[in-house]
Amino acid sequence: MAYAVTDTRPIFEGRAFKVRVDSVRAPDGKVRPIEVVEHPGAVTLVPVADDASLYLVRQYRHPSGKALLEVPAGTLGSGEDPAECARRECREEIGMAPGTLERLGGFFLAPGYSSEYSHIYLATGLTPAPLPADEDEDLRVERLTLAQVDAQIRSGEIQDGKTLAALYLYRLARGL
């Protein structure tokens, strides 16, 4: 599948992402415009306490129009190592430092239009070590058992894609 970019036009540059339009030549020779959201990447965490409960955060997400229950996550800084970002985000979002980080996998958020790739980590051996939250975040930390998380998924309370993907990979890694 040989695709070639013949032209790129920047459209928008914001704080969190950029948007461009690429002209892409497909194998059939046709050139099509493709809109791309450029994102530096992210980390997604599954923080698990010693008693096997999970830390989630509830925060208002304006595009959805409501507060969502999610696993902690955050955007990579320029040149930032994903594991270091995961450690920082864990401290910022739930106030806990992970003793151990285990990479569970990763995923593209929406590869049809976005370059965002999220690295998923299991965080264990948690100890209190809060960092100030990001200025634009209003988070409420919730600690739930896996059975409670499952009930929240079944009821439709948990609707965030990264949370569903991270919990799935967590279950696979632990045979749960």
List of residues 6+ apart from 48 with CB closer than 8 A = 54, 55, 122, 123, 124, 126, 170
C-beta of residue 35 within 8 angstroms of C-beta of residue 10:
no
Q: Nearest to residue 69, comparing CAs of 172, 149, 154?
A: 149
What are the beta bridge partners of residue 22? 8, 34
Active site residue 38: no
What does the block give as tokens for 11?
Answer: 């459209």
Q: Which of 13, 80, 135, 157 is catalytic?
A: 135
Residue 42 exposed, middle or buried by CB count within 10 Å (0-12, 13-18, 19+)? buried
Query: What 3-state DSSP class applies to 148?
Result: helix
CB atoms within 10 A of CB 82: 19
- Which residues have a catalytic role annotated? 135
